[in-house]
Amino acid sequence: MNNNPDIVCFRHCPRKNVFCRRVPATCPVCSSRIQDFIVDPFRVPYPFANAAHNPTSIAIRPSRGGFLDDYDVTRDDLHVGIVDSDGRVVEFDKDGLIANDVDRWTDCVVFQVIPVAWTVRWDETLLFVSKDVRWKSVNYDDISLNCFDFVLEFLNNLGYANLKFANKEDLCERLILSKIQKAIRYNSLYRALKHQEYLLSDHT
């Protein structure tokens, strides 16, 4: 399932971008009938994807609910998992290691971090790390041993290029934050357009 709301952006007047769900006949900036565009309408890239369709990736979703309608960056935790080469998601939470609960990973932020040549190594490392008794449910702790620790352990064992991280903070800062910021900006657009027909932004 894909929840893409199809947000469109265009520019008719020189200094304003218009975001909307449907391109109007009349420009909301200058109120004239639209004959042509400075920037033709284009679909704003949707930042969320189905983890099962993105093998050998890292996937992130809110701990509860979905990004579009539920996630609040000031209040909600994020949950991270690892997708193997067959599109199965392996994650660690209070129930221990969970494999392939894919229904909860249909709209998440995913990112590829290795080339295809590393696929076998990716699966081997995931299998190796998953066998560690650390990832039993009894060891789970919200702060000291959580899903980010599992992904950190995996990436550090993978040994690919610059994908080694000193700690969870380093992992989040270098690998995750930029992707999440794009998702948050998209969420702001989406939520604004639930209550108004257009959103205008300055073009610089």
The arithmetic mean of pLDDT across residues 85-92, rounded, is 97
Dihedral over Cα of 50, 175, 63, 181: its sign: negative
Q: Sketch the domain layout of the chain as residue ranges.
A: 8-45+193-202, 51-184
Q: 173-185: per-residue pLDDT in tens?
A: 999 998 899 899 9
Rounded to two decimals, the pTM is: 0.89
Instruction: Look at residue 116 and give its three-state secondary structure.
Output: helix
Predicted confidence (pLDDT) per residue in 62-75, tens digit? 998 889 988 988 89
Per-residue pLDDT reduced to its tens digit, 23-79 = 999 999 999 999 999 999 999 999 999 999 999 999 999 998 889 988 988 899 999
